[in-house]
Amino acid sequence: MRTFGSRWFKENSLIGEYAEHFGVGVTRQKQSMALNAAKVEAELASKAKSEFIANMSHELRTPLNAIIGFSEMLATQTVTGADKVEQYSAHIGQAAEHLLALINGILDVSKIQAGNLSVDLESVEINEILESCLLIVEAKARDKNIIMETTISPDLPNFHADPLRLKQILINLLSNAVKFTPAGGRVELDITALNTGIGSIVLSDTGIGMSVAEIGTAMSPFGQVDAGFNKRHEGTGLGLPIAHALARLHGGNLSIESQKGRGTRITVTLPLITGDQPISPSPDSSFH
């Protein structure tokens, strides 16, 4: 009996020791996996940062070089003739506006990430806002022979929105649609009221489309589906994330349906003015 007890004690000691070693091994494995995951995440973040810096360098230098080049020609009177002076002055203005838009986009993202971006909500009539947006993008659409159609439901109530931010949402989405739609394509905008007292802005195009993974990339700040120095389309990758964050800040949302090679459909929902009180869920401007 004493022998059995001694053997039992040794066996249990071995089992306990094995269990202890096994537990230590599992803990080390978990720590190793967590460390590897953190390392991969850091590497991805570093790669994204490097790509963003490289891309921004190109995006900022292009309009700056245009401004410097055309202004030097005007200052040294290299160009003669009122028509050329007017043309080069227009080029400088366009480059400056493009540069300002890039900087404003970066500042907006910084404010959104810091939770400091706010909206001044008021009653907004969509026709007036949309008209100014179309003036900006229709010229590019004509250059590419893209057909643009707009439909607004009759008796549509006013939106409860910040007019400047609503215009920013529409310009970002319309510009993207025209940019990524091949020549001869089609862009359609349909604005209606839903039964829930929410307005629906649906933008459809016959562009290049995106896969599910690419949608996730496009919706992340500074994420670009067509990235790199050899990319075909200009931009910083801020349009969709900013539009999404602004829609949420209004108490609405932005969703994307897309198929590679078959176009994209973007739906933005925003509160409408119904009766004396606007219907507006709790706003959320964070990136998701």
Report the number of secondary-structure helices (H) and strands (E) in the chain.
6, 9
The pLDDT, as a whole number, for residue 279 is: 47
Q: Exposure of 257 by Cβ count < 10 A (0-12 exposed, 13-18 middle, 19+ buried)? A: middle
Q: What mean pLDDT do residues 70-80 have?
A: 79
Q: What mean pLDDT do residues 42-63 have?
A: 66
pLDDT confidence tier of residue 228, bands split at 50, 70 and 90: very low
Q: What mean pLDDT do residues 204-208 have?
A: 93
Tokens 């932005």 correspond to 254
Strand order in the sheet with 264-271: 147-152, 186-193, 198-205, 264-271, 253-258
pLDDT confidence tier of residue 226, bands split at 50, 70 and 90: low
Displacement of CA 254 from its chain's centroid (Å): 10
pLDDT confidence tier of residue 182, bands split at 50, 70 and 90: very high
The pLDDT, as a whole number, for residue 77 is: 77
Give the count of beta carbons closer than 10 Å to the beta carbon of residue 63: 20
Of the given ranges (40-49, 68-77, 152-161), which has the lowest mean pLDDT? 40-49
DSSP state of 272: B
Which tops the pLDDT comparison, 15 or 280? 15
Sign of CA dihedral 71, 72, 76, 79: negative
The pLDDT, as a whole number, for residue 200 is: 95
Question: Three-class SS of residue 146?
Answer: coil
The pLDDT, as a whole number, for residue 277 is: 54
The pLDDT, as a whole number, for residue 138 is: 87
Is 53 a residue whose pLDDT tops 70? no
The pLDDT, as a whole number, for residue 230 is: 40
The pLDDT, as a whole number, for residue 145 is: 94
Q: Encode pLDDT of 102-143 as tens digits.
A: 787 777 777 777 777 888 899 999 998 999 888 888 888 999
pLDDT confidence tier of residue 91, bands split at 50, 70 and 90: confident
Q: What percent of the chain has pLDDT over 70?
A: 74
